[in-house]
Amino acid sequence: MKTLERYIIRRTVYAFTLTIAAMTGVVWATQALRQLDLVTSKGQTIVQFIGITMLALPFLVVIVAPFALMIALILVLNALSGDSELIVIDASGGSRFLVLKPVMLFSVVVMLLTASMSLYFAPMGLAQLRTEITRVRADLVANIVKPGRFITVENGLTFHIRNRTGKGTLDGLLLHDTRDEETAFTYQAETGQIVEAADRTLLVMQNGTIQRRPKQEGDISIVRFQSYAFDLSNLIPEAGEPVFKASERTTANLLAPGRSDAYALKNPDKLDQELHERFSQPLYCLSFGLIVFAFLGKARTTRQGRGLAVLGAICACVLLRTTGFGVTAVSGGADALMSLLYVVPVTGAALALLSIFREQRGAEPKWLTDLHLAVQDRIDALSDRLNGRKPGGAA
């Protein structure tokens, strides 16, 4: 690899790393807020909350990687043009392909990274996330035991604790049970702990009392105990096996779902669409790299404004990806439309290549040069007016 190629790739790697870290962090924060009930209502710690929500990071990388690549290439190519490095390469007889090669190499690397995330790591992370969410929602302690609150587990059964220690001990326990048709029971204990024994889930209370009060007429009886076990087995939510959606299934499962898989039998179109999306999404990295280079890979003089080229690159990439999202929305799993998931990024890459080779064969068309100059004149005039300067002179 030549020195110039290493130089461009090194700058692109640095810009891409910072960009994808920032973009992924922002998107992760917005998605993590949707799972905030893991802390506020399910009793999970902040560490558990972060660990669970981080499982969605590979899926987020697949979405933001093409845009992070676009921003990184815009920054690098714009800097090369601003520092007149592209002009030096062009003046020394160097071809545009000297710059295109490292751009394409890095775009291919990002495409392979995105493909690995899309085909393996993203579905694995989402499946683990689904499993953890199912486990948390079926967690008995998280659902019924919240310090300082009266929690009604089911009609006639209410829990209250003063505090829960880090070791799982429940302090200041109160349990009110009115499910019996004739008698209401109130359990009070200094401490309690939920334990598993003989395939049963028991609430073992220490140093407390049991108050029995007839619902109709009669005296209240109080029984003191040192240790008492209350059976909670019938209160445990049925967690069962989580039902994985199409995006949470492995690529191998999408290719050959089980014959007894109820979700797959009911939603074959969703599985097919997800499979094609996983293979088509990495192609946008290559398309974005070519589009950005088509707009910014040519040496420009200081008279030719780069702002219009930057805006054109951003708009073209956003339009291409928006078209891809639109195709995904309207396809609905129809086989006739599945090919469009590949046609959109491939068409974008083909048009960018056509523009690159056309400019390489000859000079920029006069009408395009005149347009650049006219736009730059308008921008300079507007800038002078905002800064209080007269055109062509000082204020």
What's the pLDDT tens digit per position in 297-309? 877 655 455 778 8
* Side-chain-facing half-sphere of 313: CA atoms under 13 Å: 28
Last residue of a domain, one of 235, 262, 278: 235
Q: Does the pLDDT at position 167 exceed 90?
A: no
The sign of the torsion formed by the CA atoms of 339, 344, 349, 355 equals positive
pLDDT band of residue 394 (cuts 50, 70, 90) is very low
Range of the domain at 222: 145-235
Let me know whether 174 and 153 are in one domain.
yes
Q: What total number of domains does the chain contain?
A: 2
Q: Does the pLDDT at position 361 exceed 60?
A: no
Give how far Cα 199 sits from Cα of 202, 231, 233, 296, Å.
Answer: 10, 11, 9, 67
Q: Does the pLDDT at position 187 exceed 50?
A: yes
Let me know whether 129 and 21 are in one domain.
yes
Q: Does the pLDDT at position 239 exceed 50?
A: no
Q: Does the pLDDT at position 188 exceed 90?
A: yes
Instruction: Return contacts of 174-180, CB within 8 angstroms, 24+ apart.
Output: 175/203, 175/205, 175/230, 178/215, 179/154, 179/155
Let me know whether 292 and 221 are in one domain.
no
Give how far Cα 202 sits from Cα of 195, 223, 237, Å.
Answer: 5, 20, 15
In a domain, 395, yes or no: no
User: Do residues 78 and 246 touch, judged by C-beta distance below 8 A?
Assistant: no
In a domain, 270, yes or no: yes
Last residue of a domain, one of 185, 217, 235: 235
Specify the DSSP element, H or E, that contains 49: helix 46-53
In a domain, 389, yes or no: no
Let me know whether 150 and 128 are in one domain.
no
In a domain, 109, yes or no: yes
pLDDT digits (tens, 9 = 90+) for 254-303: 888 888 888 888 888 889 999 999 999 999 999 999 999 998 887 765 54
CA torsion 361-364-365-369 (nearest 10°) is: 180
Tally helices (H) and strands (E) across the chain: 16, 7
In a domain, 194, yes or no: yes
In a domain, 386, yes or no: no
Across residues 42-50, what is the average pLDDT?
67
Let me know whether 89 and 35 are in one domain.
yes
In a domain, 302, yes or no: yes
Is 103 exposed, middle or buried, given 0-12, 13-18 or 19+ CB atoms closer than 10 A?
buried
pLDDT band of residue 364 (cuts 50, 70, 90) is low
Let me know whether 227 and 210 are in one domain.
yes
Let me know whether 11 and 104 are in one domain.
yes
Model's pTM, two decimal places? 0.70
Last residue of a domain, one of 203, 235, 267: 235
Let me know whether 60 and 193 are in one domain.
no
pLDDT given at position 165: 77
Percent of the chain scoring above 90 in pLDDT: 34
Number of Cβ atoms within 10 Å of the Cβ of 143: 19
Let me know whether 224 and 254 are in one domain.
no
User: Do residues 67 and 284 touch, judged by C-beta distance below 8 A?
Assistant: no
Let me know whether 200 and 280 are in one domain.
no
Give me the phi and psi of 117, to 5 degrees please: -65, -45
Averaged confidence pLDDT in the chain: 82
Let me know whether 213 and 315 are in one domain.
no
In a domain, 80, yes or no: yes
Let me know whether 87 and 214 are in one domain.
no
